Amino acid sequence: MTLRTGHTGLNVTDLDRSLAFYRDVLGFVLVGEGKEEGRRYAFLGDGERLVLTLWQQATGGYDGDRAGLHHLALEADSIERVRQYEEALRAYGAEFAYEGVVAHREGAASGGIFFHDPDGTRLEISVPSGAEGAPVPVDSAPTCGFF
């Protein structure tokens, strides 16, 4: 048996703010929640399985200079759906790493959008195909490197 990713747990500074972002902007479903002071968390799913857990345990925002999570990559079912997420994220006021849909590398059919959650965690929503002809922000490195 080969291992595969189950769910991802993220430490957040403000559970209510992060829950609103992941539920209301990205469309995850709240599966369960812990509201006890000092032990706040939320389980988020996609309607079929657990995808994310948010843990209110962080005292500061994301630090890309420390070992650990580089970015969280989510896959959409079409480039049109990626553009819908982009629109919702812009309305929310999310910070983007690049402008619009970009390819993963020069000549790639895969690509998507790269942005940050309320704590600065780097996120990607992409598709394996449909981004043909999209610009590449960094010629010498993968776009998902957030360079």
pLDDT for 60-111, tens place per residue? 999 988 989 999 999 999 999 999 999 999 999 999 999 999 999 989 999 9
Residue 23 carries which DSSP code?
A: I
Residue with tokens 């960094």, as numbered in its chain: 138
Residue 72: what pLDDT?
96
Identity of the amino acid at 78: S
Would you tell me how many other CB atoms lie within 10 Å of the CB of residue 76?
18
Does the pLDDT of residue 1 top 80, yes or no? no
Q: Which of 11-25, 57-71, 76-90, 111-125 has the lowest mean pLDDT?
A: 57-71
> What's the mean pLDDT in 2-29?
95
CA 121 to chain centre: 8
Give the span between the Cα atoms of 69 and 62, in whole angstroms: 9
Q: What is the mean pLDDT of the chain?
A: 95
Tell me what pLDDT residue 3 has: 87
> Which is it for strands 8-12 and 50-56: parallel, antiparallel or unpaired?
parallel
Q: CA triplet 72, 145, 91: central angle to 5 degrees?
A: 55
For residue 19, what pLDDT is reported? 97
Going by C-alpha positions, the residue among 42, 70, 55, 91 that lies closest to residue 146 is 70
